[in-house]
Structure 1
Amino acid sequence: MKSAIIFSVFFLFHFVNLFAQNFEGTAYYKTDHIVKLDLDSTSTSTNVFDQEIAKAIGNISAERQNQIEELMAQELQKEYILKFNMNESIYKEVAKLNKPKAATGGMNFNFDSSSEVLYHNIKEERFVKESEILDKPFLIIDKLTSRNWALEEKSKMIGEYPCFKAIFSEEINLETFNWESTDTEVITKTHTITVWYTPLIPVKHGPDDYFGLPGLVLEVEDGEKSIVCTKIVLNPEVGVKIEVPTKGKIVSEVEFKEIWRKKDEEMMELYLNKNQIKNKRNSTNIKIGG
């Protein structure tokens, strides 16, 4: 029975492909994050932000920590729109009215990514991305490289669309930072991404940088982040307009990452220097004799 379903879906996929030269549409997505903080300021964490919060808040109860995690998770919930045709797509956050920032323990959490706009051109194998570093706009233009997805036979329904599972795994290096010793250590972990795509929408697009499957990606599970498609509008009468981003200083992806790395190091050094000055001011010197 399962084999018959798979055969029918892929037969329909190839049938649709024959008549989908002008296939286009709009997909809406919602993101969620699982937030688990390590608020022990004496521990070594792979998440520098955990240690920052720990130092700012100090010792708190488990109930209070759960409240902080829930507020941060709510702040990280976003809604995005993906416009696509057979060759192009553009992905950006849905504009919303400003809302109060999640706050607790005297801290405000603001994870703003609304300025980013991501354009993909599958046919030309290139992408263009508008992004910012400390409010300075950049336009990243580079080659589009798809992940080496492993396609599986496992299937499920997402809304009215039959979907198939695909997985990508790789070894990544993470820097562990110890706030007490200010030393860093590199650890290696396996990073696994699971997506669900539907062959009934025969485009190779998906939310963010999850693309390259034989069908539109409707669901993503990437570590603590998940993305789910909530609505799809296919072949609207007014058509789908896709404009290539143009704002910002033009850089390659490697150049942008290097700029980001240097700014991150500068911010870290500034933070450590401020803490050293603060510790010296708070220290008590005792002089005996002389």
Structure 2
Amino acid sequence: MKKIYYLLVLLAFCEVQAQKDFQGMAVYESKTQAPKFDGMRPGNRDITPEMQKTMEERMKKMLEKTFILNFDKSASIYKEEEKLDAPGQQGGGMRIMMNSFMGGGGTFYKDVKSKSYTVDKEFMGKEFLVIDSLPKLNWKLESETKQIGGYNCYKATVIKEASKTDFRNFRPKSNDDKKDEVKKTSGETKTNFEDNFEMPKEILITAWYTPEIPVNQGPENYWGLPGLILEINDGRTTILCSKVVLNAKDKVEIKPSKKGKVISQKDYDETVIKKMEEFREMNRGRAGGPPPPMGR
């Protein structure tokens, strides 16, 4: 009996140790549908169709990113994979601008036990450390299934409030909406770049998770499903896992960043919205010609 008892204790210890040492890595490819610039032509006659095409192609490339998620049973870090621009490639300033207004460039740390997150962000040349509670996502578990990278995945959906500080949530306005908001001055119609887009109040999120990797983690601030989230889609942005490595020999330290001014998500959003409104008003005064890069 004693041998059986000691054997059970040893097995329990090994199981706890295995859970403690468990770690995984997932690679995600993020793609966001690039906005169209057709609506800029009436008020910016210098923008030719060729220029529009070039702008859209550059925007598309900047909205294609690779991220790495390192996770264990209770925490994770999610960070963009750094890439060097090809020789002669332009658009670095615009990329910095886009990252600034999309709140990117930092390390997103999630602790599902304490239900909190920490992310370091750089905005308009200033560093912030956003610390707040993880969003409560009331997932609806669906019966639909599919395979991703050899893993059996299940579908889940949720409707959540759209972040007003995430550029990816902007949607092109319909022609009818644009007509309703046309501004007329001395008989002339002036169209501003930002006037072509709107921010939805809510967005539908579709996730695909696999119970075969039993951690309630996922990319960005997505979490709370009975398995690792391998795909997220909100209609314009798709984040798809392309590779999973479990229990690699080399471990990664999973801990939050400590650089930047500590701030809540609400206060950070208010800071960004204020700057975006200032930029919007500044840009309104530049009638005609293409808009200057944001952040200049």
TM-score of the superposition, structure 1-length normalised? 0.73
Distance change (3 Å), C-alpha of 1:188 and 1:141 = closer
Q: For residues 82 and 90 of structure 1, what CA distance do their matches in structure 2 show?
A: 6
CA contact (8 A) 2:153 2:209 kept: yes
Within the alignment, does 1:120 sit opposite 2:132 as a pair? no
Secondary structure of residue in 1 paired with 2:38: coil
Distance change (3 Å), C-alpha of 1:121 and 1:224 = same
Secondary structure of residue in 2 paired with 1:40: helix
Match of residue 80 from structure 2: 93
Q: For residues 75 and 226 of structure 2, what CA distance do their matches in structure 1 show?
A: 15
Match of residue 137 from structure 2: 147
Tell me how far 1:35 sits from its aligned partner.
2.0
Number of aligned residues: 246
Q: For residues 266 and 250 of structure 2, what CA distance do their matches in structure 1 show?
A: 38
Quick one: which of 169, 176, 183 aligns to 2:159? 169
Task: Output one character per residue of 1:163-186: Cα deviation in whole Å (capped at 9) or x when no partner.
Answer: 000111246698978573689898
Distance change (3 Å), C-alpha of 1:56 and 1:86 = farther
CA RMSD of aligned residues (A): 3.4
1:140 alignment partner AA: V
Q: Which has the higher contact order (CA 8 A, sep 6+)?
A: 2
Which deviates more from structure 2 when the two are superposed, residues 135-144 or residues 164-173? 164-173
Q: Percentage identity across aligned positions?
A: 33
Quick one: which of 206, 210, 218 aligns to 1:198? 210
Q: For residues 203 and 73 of structure 1, what CA distance do their matches in structure 2 show?
A: 32
Tell me how far 1:72 sits from its aligned partner.
2.0
Distance change (3 Å), C-alpha of 1:170 and 1:141 = closer
Quick one: which of 256, 259, 268 aligns to 2:271? 259
2:210 alignment partner AA: T
Within the alignment, does 1:180 sit opposite 2:183 as a pair? yes
Map 1:1-290 onto structure 2 (within 5 A): 20=19, 22-41=21-40, 55=44, 58-60=47-49, 65=52, 68-99=55-86, 101=89, 109-110=94-95, 111-112=98-99, 115-170=105-160, 178=181, 180=183, 191-275=203-287
Looking at secondary structure, tell me which structure has more strand per residue: 1
Q: For residues 93 and 209 of structure 1, what CA distance do their matches in structure 2 show?
A: 14
Q: For residues 188 and 233 of structure 1, what CA distance do their matches in structure 2 show?
A: 36
1:34 alignment partner AA: Q
Distance change (3 Å), C-alpha of 1:198 and 1:141 = same
Distance change (3 Å), C-alpha of 1:101 and 1:221 = farther
Distance change (3 Å), C-alpha of 1:133 and 1:221 = same
Q: For residues 85 and 27 of structure 2, what CA distance do their matches in structure 1 show?
A: 20
CA contact (8 A) 2:25 2:245 kept: yes
Tell me how far 1:109 sits from its aligned partner.
4.5
Match of residue 12 from structure 1: none
CA contact (8 A) 1:101 1:109 kept: no
Tell me how far 1:75 sits from its aligned partner.
2.2
TM-score of the superposition, structure 2-length normalised? 0.71
Secondary structure of residue in 2 paired with 1:130: strand
Distance change (3 Å), C-alpha of 1:101 and 1:241 = same
2:235 alignment partner AA: G
Q: Which runs of 5+ in 1 are unaligned?
A: 1-15, 44-53, 277-290
2:158 alignment partner AA: F
